[in-house]
Amino acid sequence: MSFWERLLRSGLEVSIRLLEGLGARGIRWEWKKQAWRQGLERRIADWENVARGVRVRMRMCPSCRQLVDRSQATCPACGGSLRGVPGGGVGRALRLLLPGAGNVTMLLITVNVIMSLLMYATWGASPGSSGFLGLLAPPWQALFLFGGKWTEWILHGQVWRLVTANYLHGGIIHLLFNCYALVSLGPLIEESFGGRKLFLIYSVTGVAAFATSALFRPETLSIGASGALFGILGFAIVFGRFRSGPSGRAIAAQLMRYLIFMALFLLIPGIDNAAHIGGLVSGAALGLLVDAGEPRTPAGNLALNILTTAAVLATIGSFVAMGLSYAANLRALGRG
């Protein structure tokens, strides 16, 4: 037992005796003492888990169950990827202290929320916004300047709008609904396919959604994560229905009901149905091509790393291009 554990336990017992000396008695007091002791033991156990997480030198291969040094990227026994398998070191400690850290679903939600906060901080809510879905809607100028899809400007070189539009929302209800859908669908993909594949599916289907919208609705300023969400939904349904076992087909059947519910929103005036259909179709296509789990070979892992890096760089580059174009676009609106 470490010095700090002894110190904390001794400190709690001294505090208890002091309070008893001041007259604390009765059944309620006995219950409080027990609750405090149990709470301290749970906290100490959590700290011990963090310490073990830093010290541990091995992790287990999910394919052959072999214990492998935590520094290895692939299992020397079977060649399987160890990507995503918890190991030791500081990274493991952070995951224990912050269970959501590194989670791609939470990362996507965070970026979506931050972009909305930036628009509100810069432009506020539109004074003409009304209705349930229009609650706290940013002005259209903000959506344009922060990277909404507009075909004319895409054709004039601002192709990055196909990416940035996936992280913008037209109001607080729009944002909350899409974040709820993402937190419902994202972990399903992330758990079965890995965080890298989730980010790729979100990115590819999001771009496909707004490319479809740019083609069929060229005069519309469009934004929102729902195109990519329809893509994730289409991916999960097709993979579960055609490339998985009984449990996968059962999940696909449940998601079909979810899709029917989401399809009701296609009837709302002003909804970009072209983007939703483009995302759904591209996601379904990926469901026929992408395999479950992490790559089992070094070559497959390298290919996935290259694709993920390209998607991350394209996303970051799109936001940088949006920032660099902000002043020129503002002048084009006659506001600069």
Residues belonging to the active site: 226, 276
Element (H, E) at 68: strand 67-69
Residue type, 132: F
In angstroms, rounded to a whole number, what is the distance separating the alpha carbons of residues 105 and 183? 7
**Cβ-based neighbours of 119, under 8 Å, separated by 6 or more:** 138, 142, 143, 146, 168
**Cβ-based neighbours of 218, under 8 Å, separated by 6 or more:** 151, 152
**Cβ-based neighbours of 106, under 8 Å, separated by 6 or more:** 100
CB 169 within 8 A of CB 116: yes
Residue 10 CB burial class (10 angstroms; 0-12, 13-18, ≥19)? exposed
For CA atoms 49, 50, 51, 52, give the dihedral sign: positive
- Phi, psi for 59 (deg, rounded to 5): -145, 160
**How many CB atoms sit inside 10 A of residue 54's CB?**
15
- Cα three-residue angle 322-327-333, rounded to 5 degrees: 100
Q: Give the 3-state secondary structure of residue 60.
A: strand
End-to-end CA distance of the chain: give it in Å, rounded.
66
Q: Mark residue 130 as left, alpha or beta (left: phi above 0; alpha: psi -120 to 50; beta: remaining).
A: beta
Residue type, 215: L
In angstroms, rounded to a whole number, what is the distance separating the alpha carbons of residues 166 and 147? 9
CB 163 within 8 A of CB 207: yes
